[in-house]
Structures are given as structure tokens and as C-alpha cells.
A and B are shown apart, each in its own frame.
Chain A
Amino acid sequence: MRRRKGPQLTALILGIAVPMAATLAYADDLPSSEKAEPAMKRGFAVGASMSATPMNEQGLFAAGFSLGYKIDRVFLAIGADGSRESGESAHSFDGSSKSEGWTTSFVVRSDVQITIVQGPGVELFGWAGVGMGKWTSRFGSAFAFGSAPEITEYTELSALRLELRAAPGIRWWVHPSFGANLSVGMEVDTFARLGSPAPDQLGRYPSNAASLLVNTGFLAVF
């Protein structure tokens, strides 16, 4: 069942690149740099983006959303990320077995972006973000002969999560209220175990990771 990923990745990259390219292509129709209206100095800002962290085992992709306020060269924002998976199964083979469990992970981030160099319609910015959250996993199983199994004991594991990001980026203001940005930097994702897990449970924790971070998205200021 192994499948080649190349064409699909190419299509994904195309799917992301086309809107970005279109934004830049339309930007050619915008007023020339002498006439370009500068980006809005102040305002409530909404951003959506997608990230790739190719060296993080937890996942190649991440979604980004930020709500914040732009004050001249400084953009302050908060964002969040998280997921929850749960499952249960029942099997019978020389007896009956039942298992269930769930895993949740969330992180709340605060980001600051500071414009370092500002040109007509384009800016170079520095981006730093700190995120904190928690990872929790709970699971249990039971086995019985000749009767329905009942799960009486659950194992719960948890860890504090700290996420750090630092990246330079460029933003193209195609409209005073709308920018397209691309950042390339680093992301560090660490987990501090809570409690004293049994040695055979250590493998269930997510592993720490430091990875290249590529983030691209749009930002609107109102």
C-alpha cells in the first residue's frame, strides 16, 4: 500500500503557491511605489497562516491563527493550537478485550512581530513567540473470558508543553489593510513530564523537537 508522495506534495505546494503568486501578481496592478499607500499604522489585526516544521516528529504541518493589534511597527498577537484524539475498540479472540483512551494537546501562544526595515509596500520583520500548554493522555484496557470486560483502571500521563519560535520574515502589503507574509526560522517544542511515570510508559510521551519553521499566511488590519 506504499504510495509515492511526490506528485501529491507537488500539488500541495502548487495549491499554496498559486494564491501567493496571484497576490504578488495582482500587486503589479497596484500603485507604483511612490504612490503606494503605506500599511495602516494602527488597528485590530486578524491573521491566518500555515506552518511546516519538517524536523518535528509531532507533525509536519500546523495551522496558525492570530488575533492582535498593530501599533506602527509592532504587532502583538495571541494564537492557539491544539488537537484531541480518542478511540475505543472491542475485540474477541480467545476471550474479549476492550480498550479506550484519548490524547489532548493544546498550546496558547503570544507573538510579537517588529518591523526592522520598512520599504514602500514591503517590510522585513522579526518574529518571536512563546507558547505554553499541556499534553495529556488517558487510556485503559480490560480482558475477560466468557463475559463482557469492564475497564476499572486508567493510566493518565501528562506533560507541560513549552514552545518557542524565532524567525525573520518579509511582508508584502498589497493593500493598506492586507499583507502576505513568509517567515523562515526555528521552532523548539519541549515537554516536561508531570508525575512519575512507569518506565514502560516513557515511550508514550511526545518527544522534544527543534525544527526548521516555514510559515506563510495573510494578515488583515482593520
Chain B
Amino acid sequence: MYDRTIERFALLAVGAVALLGTSPASAEPWKPPKTSPRSAQVRIGVGIEASAFVMAPVKSLSAYGGSILAGVKLDRVLVGLAFDYFAPPLGAVDFETVSTTAKRVEVQVALLRSSDARVEALWFGALGWSEGGSYVQEANYLNVTSSFGPWRTGAGVRFWPSRWVGLSATTGVVGYEDEYWDMDGRGSRSAVSLFSRFGVMGVLGW
């Protein structure tokens, strides 16, 4: 399990570096007055975004992790499928989770744009589903099933330094519910917390 953890993060890191390594070569120097807003970013295309997120620790989800999203961009709207990895929690908590992964469908909409279309304020919403996993809580072994979530919604900003690369910071609310069983009984938990993430997106298209 631990080796897979390293592999997943390595994949995230390599993906991010690959995006950055390939795109700047084709980036044109920024010329604000001369750049047409139409050429400031790809309007219709397919994209991949790698992101890292943190959140206030809640007992059902870990405090940080990474995501890969692949989607279709239609001007101001991006619709994508994503894979999330929640790392085991850090610090002063009385339990430990095993690694938890989740998938989600996410929609992002650019609500505001600068006149040259390089800067955007965006809203996003996502609904996810996770496999759950096994828990060790105060020496009891629990079987956990996610009943709902993680869902997310929030807002943030994105900068397009080139047509093909977008850098974003977003903050929002994440919610989660699960059910668990141990030897003596059952229980359920839900949590809502704030989270924020940084993302690097590469887009190919027109």
C-alpha cells in the first residue's frame, strides 16, 4: 500500500512537470495591448489539470492530497473527470486511515475575465464517489463505506500565462459522509470543511 502511495504522488509530480516542461517552449512573450483576447487561451479543447490540495482535518477525510483531472474546455466552461488521492492524516488525531481515493465529476465556469482574457475568477462544483476503506480507530478495526461524497464547491482564480497553460488557486467547501462497521455495531459520520488547492492545467485545442 505504501509503495503505491509513492507511485501515485510521483505520477502527480511527473505529470505536473511534464505539463510545464512541454508548454513553455511554445509560449509567446506576453504583450498585453497587442494580444487579442481570443488568442489568450484555448477556447475549445481538451485539458489535464494536476493539483495539490489541503484542508482542515476532519475525521472522515485526510488533510491533504493530490488530484488529476481530465476534461473538455468549451470557452468559459470546463467539464472533467478527476481522480483524488487523500493522504493519511497528519498530526494530532486519534486515528489513522489507510489511503483513500475518490473519483469525481467537476464543472468549472469562468465567471469573470480580464479584458485580455488572461485572468479569470471561476466557480466550480464537483460530486465524487469513493471506495471507502479500512480504518484503525483507537485499536478497533473498522470497515468504512462512503455513502455520499466527497462533494465540493467553491471559487478561485486562474491565470493563463500562455494559451495552453493555466495556473489556478481555488478554495471551497468539501463534504463527505460515510458508514462504518466494527465487531460490535455500526455508525455513521459526516463532515464539512474548507479546502484549497493549487492547480496546473495544460490544454490543447483551438
Residue positions of A touching B, CB distance < 8 A: 1-5, 7-9, 11-12, 14-16, 18-20, 22-23, 25-26, 29-31, 37, 46-50, 52, 57-65, 81-93, 97, 174-178, 217-220, 222
Contact = CB atoms under 8 A, between A and B. Distances in A.
Given A23-B159, A25-B24, A91 B184 contact: yes
Contacts of A61: 54-57, 63-64
Interface string B188-206: 1111111111111000000
B161 to A, nearest CB: 4
Interface of B: 2, 5-6, 9-10, 12-13, 16-17, 20, 24, 27-32, 50-52, 54-60, 63-64, 66, 87-88, 90-92, 96, 98, 112, 114, 118-121, 136, 154-157, 159, 161-162, 165, 167-172, 184-200
5 contacts: A14-B13, A29-B27, A63-B195, A83-B56, A89-B185
Contacts of B64: 8, 12, 61
B90 A60 contact: yes
Contact of A15 (B66, B172, B190): B66
Nearest to B175: A84
Given A1-B98, A22-B165, A90-B185, A48 B66 contact: no
Given A12-B54, A88-B187, A26 B27 contact: yes
Given A16-B52, A47-B157, A48-B157, A65 B171 contact: yes
Given A26-B161, A92-B185, A81 B119 contact: no
Given A89-B185, A218-B169, A222-B114, A50 B196 contact: yes
Contacts of B167: 19, 22-23, 218
A85 B191 contact: yes
Given A22-B200, A29-B161, A175-B118, A46 B155 contact: yes
A25 B152 CA distance: 31
Contacts of B20: 18, 22, 25
A222 B155 CA distance: 15
Given A19-B169, A218-B169, 16 more contacts: A11-B9, A18-B13, A18-B16, A31-B30, A49-B171, A57-B92, A58-B56, A61-B56, A62-B194, A63-B56, A82-B194, A84-B193, A86-B190, A87-B189, A219-B157, A220-B114
